[in-house]
Chains A and B, each alone.
Chain A
Amino acid sequence: MSKEAKTEILQGTLDLMVLQTLDALGPLHGYGIARRIEQVSESVLQLNEGTVYTALLRLQQQGAIRSEWGESENKRRARFYSITTRGKKQLAREAEDWRKIAGVIGRLLRLADQKAVQ
């Protein structure tokens, strides 16, 4: 039960990261997205890069992103993902939710810190 809930949040977070990346950088292939997340997280986040594809599949199914074949930097065929209008709305909504939750957690932790100080 509790384990499932944790996975849920993680998955949601990854989706949000993927969407944000595509929104900021434009069409990217899976490898590119993984590199970008790695770069932004400054290697704090240990990422199984396969899960990026799970997120891509899920987002594609939700209609938040679409994909088309293109050519990668090493001249190989690669699938490029880009964010859709629906995805942008979803991103805005989830980012807002995330900020709220982050704010709440932050306040809670600050309270706990003050208590610990007393």
Chain B
Amino acid sequence: MMFLSKLRYLLASRCSRGEFDEEVENHIAMLAGRFTAQGMTPEEALRAARRQFGNRTSLSETRAEMQSFVWLETLWQDLRYGARLLRRNLGFAAVAVLTLALGIGANTAIFSVVNAAILRPLPYPDPGRLAILWGNVKRENVERRGTTYPDFQDWRDQSRRFEGMAAFDDHSFVLTGVDNPEALGGEYVSASYFSLLGIHPQLGRTFNREEDRVPQRDAVALLSDRLWKRRFGGDPAILGRTIQLDGRAYNVVGIAPAGFQGVGHSAEIWAPYTMSGSAEELGSRRIVGLRVLARLRPGVSFAQAQAEMNGIAKRLEQAYPRDNQARGVEVASLTQETTGNVRTPLLVLLAAVGFVLLIAVTNVANLLLARAETRQHEVAMRAALGASRGRIIRQLLVESAILVTLGCLAGVALAHYGQRALMAASPLEFPNFVHPTIDASVALFTLAISCAVAVALGLAPATQVSTAGVAARSGIGSRNSRFRDALAIAELSISLLLLIGAGLMIRSIVHLSAIDPGYDPAHLVILRAGLPQAKISAPGDILRGISALPSVESVSLGSDAPFTGEFAIYYTAEGQPPMTAQTMPRAYLHRVSPDFFRTLRTPFLYGRPFSVNEIHDGANVAIVTENLVRRFWPGENPIGKTIKLGRADVANPWLTIVGVVGEMKYRGLPENPTADPDLFLVFNERSSSFTVLVRTSTDAASMLPAIRAAVRQTEPSTLIFNADALENFIAQELAGSRIAAWMMSIFAGIALFLTSIGIYGVISYGVSRRTREIGLRVALGSGRAGVLRLVVGRGMALVIAGLVLGTAAALVLTRVLASMVHVSATDPLTFAGASAVLALVALIACLLPAVRASRIDPAIALREQ
């Protein structure tokens, strides 16, 4: 309001300084003329007129103040004054700016990732209505298993609360008939998949309804923009051409828009879902695995959709009791599915980094308070010279604003580079549309926290100024130091919180690394390979080719390797009682060669490995893990017992158990996804897709080139999909925990460092304030040890208060970590360890000023003042 009227006034009656002077001159002249008429001499009259007019300078100033934006000028003055002061205290300014830059930068970086991964909506139209439908199985726990194609068709046809549904499943397509054959991440999808997502091809078309028919006659494929540019040079003539996928000719019908890589974010190619299996397989209610993408009708809630699907699942269970017993549907939002796994870690990191900022601000506030103390004279003098309280507070605010602005700029630069490093180093898998940038919302966030920081920093010393005017020195001092004590305690408790968080995560990783997976992952190479149909008898030759390499101890073949085999199957044990869908025995099936357990160094509890003369389909022998025999034959010798694949009424041959090994963490770390046992059958050495396990006597990764070369030499048509040391695969499994722990430790380290500086500041400030008193104590016979005790005791009182508060906060707050750590969130060892570390660091921070205090010369101390 004031501002507007000032502006209007300025525009409406813009009168120059000269005109105003003229007006005043006229006035004085007229007044003088009147006095002359009353009989004064012209000189006397002019003097009297001037006297009666009063202070012209003050009038000009008032006018200037009204006309110009004088606050801008005083702001400029304040800015220059502040900058000058900070330049003079370069050390202080640098420490403060760096501390703030660290706090603001870290917050900006983490927030930009949070913003990109969680806050921005998925890049599809109306993404809130997109859902993933999982087929669930109620076993010991409810397990997500995907569903069958007939179930999907029933869901789609019977539901009313969805606009549409599309089946989809991941598939690795092998591209051949080109110079460098390779395996491509892809998806089998129903025709409606693209329209549900609102994806329109940049060239050609997506799939049509005809291509959803079973059996599928025409093999068609859609390429991702990336694959199209990478493998086909972005040539539009690719449309209508055929490419070889999995040994079959596919007609390319379209190119997906740039950036789209399926809901799984890694697909480069799509084929109709009906290409995924034979008509018989697609008609079975037993082969579960596909997921369903669906779009809710407008206005339908997820709860309503879930209720409808529960009804459909119930009907299907009644109609197909044999196959659909205990099967349900889970309606999950696509957003949750896409970003749910990074949500908690990111929010925890954001909270942690927020705490770091709090500590940083506290520290800088402490520094400012200390400076305010030393500036009491200056402030008092300015007040005495007529500076209003508002003006002094404004000056202090401007100073802190300068610090924060510099800190903010440095912080944003830090964040800009930091977030790149963060994304590059992060093994957390982000969806491919996540590109953290400093966009408007990040800028707003940074601005908001910076303003909050500036106000907090400015107000801290300003509260002290309020009383400084009264200049009751001792009074201010004690109030000031109480305030600083409180800040130090806050810092200590927040630090403890972060230390405990980091400690829990580190303990969790130590715990994870100490897990015995049931095999020895060191010096193992895993290689996944594919062969053309004509060469499916080559695996044995490849095994022998690798065996001949130096530094290779043993080689084994298999259908899968650790963390790649997830094929679950029902089985039947001899003499088992009747089962329900919940209790029906299920195992994960792997086919392996005789040297498999020797290569993995998995010891046998009973029996023996397969023998070379059992490498054929009629061998009918099996090796199982401990859980299987413990369930059916506890306490008995399991060797010679029999099991068969499939349910009790399926006419499969009985297999004799020849060996039993301990449970292996073969399907996941730190724990297999389900407690089902693993079942190993003989690998018959005839397969177009298999895994090679190589135990080396030297560093596994360094053997990779030699192993690749040996494979190519033995069978040049072999396609090597991926090959790496098993330890690297394990590292990837644990990468999420590792990066979170790593970052948490960095934050806790920063917090610890800042806090130790804060404690040091508070204690040495206390010592400097009490120099006289300490001198007096020494003069009165208190020994050096007594002084040490005094100072350290004061520091430790703060530490104890901080530890108590921090522990209480941690007991509440670490609960949110429970899903991220594999140890108890209230692990006493971690709490004790973190407290000890903090207490130790704080003790060292106290000792430095304490030792200085103990060296105070009473004579000098008492003479001061």
Q: Is the CB of A50 within 8 A of B55?
A: yes
Interface bits B1-40 vs A (CB < 8 Å: 1, else 0) = 0000110110011010001001110110111010000000
B575 within 8 A of A: no
From B65, which residue of chain A is reached at the shortest CB distance?
A57
A31: chain B residues at CB < 8 Å are: 26-27, 30-31
Those of B30-75 within 8 Å (CB) of chain A:
30-31, 33, 52-56, 58-59, 62-63, 66
Asked if A50 meets B9 with Cβ closer than 8 Å, knowing A72-B26, A77-B22, A78-B26, the reply is no
Q: Is the CB of A58 within 8 A of B30?
A: no
C-alpha spacing A47/B51, complex, angstroms: 10
A47: chain B residues at CB < 8 Å are: 52
CB distance from B31 to the nearest CB of A (A): 7
From A16-24, A61-69, A95-103, A106-114, the one touching the partner chain is A61-69
Q: Is the CB of B26 within 8 A of A54?
A: no
A90 within 8 A of B: no
Q: Is the CB of A72 within 8 A of B30?
A: yes
How large, as a class, is the contact surface on chain A? 20 to 34
CB distance from A49 to the nearest CB of B (A): 5
C-alpha spacing A51/B186, complex, angstroms: 85
Interface bits A40-66 vs B (CB < 8 Å: 1, else 0) = 000000011111011001101111001
CB distance from B506 to the nearest CB of A (A): 60
Neighbour of B52 across the interface among A49, A57, A67, A74, CB < 8 A: A49
Is chain B's interface secondary structure helix, strand, loop, or mixed overall? helix
Q: Is the CB of B23 within 8 A of A30?
A: yes
Neighbour of B26 across the interface among A49, A51, A62, A76, CB < 8 A: A76
Q: Is the CB of A57 within 8 A of B62?
A: yes
Q: Is the CB of B66 within 8 A of A50?
A: no
C-alpha spacing A78/B55, complex, angstroms: 21
Neighbour of A30 across the interface among B27, B33, B55, B66, CB < 8 A: B27
B58: chain A residues at CB < 8 Å are: 50
CB distance from B54 to the nearest CB of A (A): 3
B15, B23, B56, B58 pick with most chain A CB within 10 angstroms: B23
Those of A3-21 within 8 Å (CB) of chain B:
none
From A50, which residue of chain B is reached at the shortest CB distance?
B54
A34 within 8 A of B: yes
Q: Is the CB of A50 within 8 A of B13?
A: no
B63: chain A residues at CB < 8 Å are: 53-54, 57
Q: Is the CB of A48 within 8 A of B55?
A: yes
CB distance from B289 to the nearest CB of A (A): 78
Q: Is the CB of A62 within 8 A of B27?
A: no
C-alpha spacing A51/B27, complex, angstroms: 12
Q: Is the CB of A58 within 8 A of B66?
A: yes
C-alpha spacing A53/B59, complex, angstroms: 8
From A74, which residue of chain B is reached at the shortest CB distance?
B30
From B34, which residue of chain A is reached at the shortest CB distance?
A35
Q: Is the CB of B66 within 8 A of A78?
A: no
Asked if A49 meets B62 with Cβ closer than 8 Å, knowing A31-B31, A62-B5, A63-B5, the reply is no
Q: Is the CB of B9 within 8 A of A79?
A: no
B55: chain A residues at CB < 8 Å are: 48, 50
A74: chain B residues at CB < 8 Å are: 30, 33
Q: Is the CB of A34 within 8 A of B59?
A: no
Those of B590-624 within 8 Å (CB) of chain A:
none
CB distance from B29 to the nearest CB of A (A): 8
CB distance from B513 to the nearest CB of A (A): 70
From A35, which residue of chain B is reached at the shortest CB distance?
B34
Neighbour of B31 across the interface among A29, A49, A51, A53, CB < 8 A: A49
CB distance from B421 to the nearest CB of A (A): 55
C-alpha spacing A110/B530, complex, angstroms: 113
Q: Is the CB of A61 within 8 A of B5?
A: yes
Asked if A50 meets B56 with Cβ closer than 8 Å, knowing A57-B63, A63-B5, the reply is yes
B59: chain A residues at CB < 8 Å are: 50-51, 53-54
B19: chain A residues at CB < 8 Å are: 79
Asked if A78 meets B53 with Cβ closer than 8 Å, knowing A61-B5, A61-B6, A72-B30, the reply is no
Asked if A60 meets B9 with Cβ closer than 8 Å, knowing A31-B30, A78-B26, the reply is yes
Neighbour of B8 across the interface among A29, A63, A78, CB < 8 A: A63
A77: chain B residues at CB < 8 Å are: 22, 26
A57: chain B residues at CB < 8 Å are: 62-63, 66
A30: chain B residues at CB < 8 Å are: 23, 27
From A62, which residue of chain B is reached at the shortest CB distance?
B5
C-alpha spacing A30/B31, complex, angstroms: 11
25 contacts between A and B (CB under 8 A): A31-B30, A31-B31, A48-B52, A48-B53, A48-B55, A49-B31, A50-B53, A50-B55, A50-B56, A50-B58, A51-B59, A53-B23, A53-B27, A53-B59, A54-B63, A57-B66, A61-B5, A62-B5, A63-B5, A63-B9, A67-B13, A74-B33, A76-B26, A77-B22, A79-B19
Q: B residues within 8 Å of A by Cβ?
A: 5-6, 8-9, 12-13, 15, 19, 22-24, 26-27, 29-31, 33, 52-56, 58-59, 62-63, 66
Q: A residues within 8 Å of B by Cβ?
A: 29-31, 34, 47-51, 53-54, 57-58, 60-63, 66-67, 72, 74, 76-79
- A29-B27, A30-B23, A74-B33 given; name 8 further pairs at CB < 8 Å: A31-B26, A34-B27, A50-B24, A60-B9, A61-B9, A74-B30, A76-B29, A78-B23
